[in-house]
Amino acid sequence: MAKTYLTDKEVTDKLVKEAYDRMKKDVRVAHILIGTPRGSDDTLAAYKKADSLYKVLTAGADFANLAKSVSEDKQSSVNGGDIGFITAMQVVYPFETEAYQTPLGKFSKPVRTLYGYHIIKKLDERAARGEIQVSQIMVGVQKSAGKEGEAKAKARIDSVLAMLKKRREI
């Protein structure tokens, strides 16, 4: 049965398209985490706590203040739960799915991951920025060359910059 599922072209194609579509957009999210004990199948207490927090949020509580006071993700809780922008395949799949499906400015019902239950708020979305590549040209200067050496290096790097600017105009 697993072999059929894992090699099902329809399922694979759907997941590839989903990932491709998600990679076109970055989403900024905040979350409240109610952790579950590692290795335990008993998640009822954590779910009940997450569900009660969801009800408090639905009644109008401030998400950021609640995240600061109760979230078990200590890194993001100091920022009101804000974890910044994410894109496809950066976080666990259930979290990613909820982050992309939650309407902008709204928060999700509790969603289960291997870390516990999350309530996710979508703060912003933007076109994906993709990967950024940076290059540099550096002219080194020996300390023994003194101010004269620094001046020669600056003159050389300035001439390279002028050449690059001129090439861009062509």
Per residue of the chain (170 residues), what is the pLDDT tens digit?
Answer: 555 555 678 888 898 999 989 999 999 999 999 999 877 778 899 999 999 999 999 999 999 999 999 999 999 999 999 999 999 999 999 999 999 999 999 999 999 999 999 999 999 999 998 766 678 888 889 889 899 999 999 999 999 999 888 887 75
Task: Please check whether residues 141 and 123 belong to one and the same domain.
Answer: no
Q: CA 123, 124, 129, 132 torsion: positive or negative? A: negative
Residues spanned by the domain of 143: 137-170
Task: Please check whether residues 157 and 91 belong to one and the same domain.
Answer: no
In a domain, residue 132? The reply is: no
pTM of the model: 0.71
Judged on CB neighbours under 10 Å (0-12, 13-18, 19+), 88 is buried
User: What's the number of domains the chain is made of?
Assistant: 2
Query: What gap in Å lies between CA 108 and CA 98, rounded to an integer?
Result: 7
